[in-house]
Chains A and B, each alone.
Chain A
């Protein structure tokens, strides 16, 4: 498993995927820093003490929520590109055949591919998120209430997307799987936004739709919970405004989310392994 993961990681390095990602991330970071600087400057005159609004928290939580959205999106794209063709795609190109005739179980092959994709995508999400936290803190002097909690949930979301892409790769060609997973990702985000609207109105129907969709696709629930961890300490008018926004953290997923996300990934890999065992390549 480690050997397969190392091979996949070396492929990412040798194909200059990391170089491209780092170069684009630096550009993303620079743009983010400029945006954060302008935002903190603009909101500094929003409020006096009597309104109870904390402009620094409002600006910091909003722009960092946006950075989390961007980080997860880029992490999802990485996860999809690294795993979309892991089985059927590689079998069609002939890359898989020389590997699986070796004494390497198909489950270990899948686990190795997932490990590599998770390290890259979750690692990237963590790197981008921590970079955004640092930039926000240094520019606006605002730090989120639970950096580690958000980090774990956001990186976990990238792992869940990798597992879904891996599962899809057993059944679909690389292109079809890539499109399917990105569409599922979009559907999850849409469900999350519906949930935010449902919380703001409030509408129990929308909340229920969002909950079912988010637990079915736990990357979305992890993302929503990561937003909540981000602004957990914001109270009063500021907290209310942030939580009502599209990047708000009004939704508490509860203590079962992380165990469910872990179980979900394990189930996806087991299902992929079960299907792969029954497939000719």
Chain B
């Protein structure tokens, strides 16, 4: 898979504090990568640096291929949703015109709000407008810093569906979030950042590990702690040999949350 974003040994210091200590990561084409970590881990510094919010600034060509939604952002209250997108189309050099703006507003569920002023929008609506703004010019890579922080459950689901749609379209996404369930649902890969360094990386299923096997029997449910998938035939055969009736077998895995707490503790 070709890398859309490649970061190698990235260091960043704020005075004596190391915000990033040799971070190396890649985001592949149409790949959705989740970035997890506690407050102060360096997630926003990483996305900010990648998107040239951190100095020095990158090239115009690089900037045109990146869409970014900052954790802290605000659009001028006097602008309408459509005007915000027009401004960003001009800045990004996008030739999408009306059609692109309409499509993006539809995509984020603001199709009927094009003429609505930003200062009359809820925080959630502004956040969705922010995502639409980040998608101006069809960027190859989208960096989203806490895109669902102000959204209600329905809004979060809209963003999840949007992320899946972007993956179908071939857009790569680096998603910085605190919501582990979000990452577990939509991300192909997860990076856990702690104190400026990546402490765990892999697909959500790889980061979790076998915790045991749960078997439903006529006499009740039994859990075989520490057992793995390879142990299932033996467990079932032993139980049948012992006269038990087996109704279902389930592999137990630790959750992403458990793994996360383990590595950042």
Contacts and interface: CB of A to CB of B under 8 A. Distances in A.
A106 interface: yes
B131 to A, nearest CB: 11
B140 to A, nearest CB: 14
Interface string B179-199: 000000000000000000000
B87 interface: yes
Contacts, number: 65
B40 interface: no
A279 interface: yes
Interface residues of B, number: 30
Contact of A98 (B61, B73, B90): B73
A94 B64 CA distance: 21
Interface residues of A, number: 23
A278 B74 CA distance: 23
A70 B185 CA distance: 63
Contact of B92 (A94, A102, A281): A102
Given A3-B90, A14-B78, A280-B48, A100 B53 contact: yes
A116 to B, nearest CB: 13
B27 interface: no
A103 B74 contact: no
A102 B73 CA distance: 14
A50 interface: no
A3 B52 CA distance: 20
A14 B130 CA distance: 21
Nearest to B87: A7
A141 interface: no
B244 to A, nearest CB: 62
B88 A98 contact: yes
Contact of B91 (A104, A106, A278): A104
Interface of A: 3, 7, 11, 14-15, 93-95, 97-106, 277-281
Interface of B: 48, 51-57, 60-61, 63-64, 66, 68-70, 72-76, 78, 87-88, 90-93, 130, 133
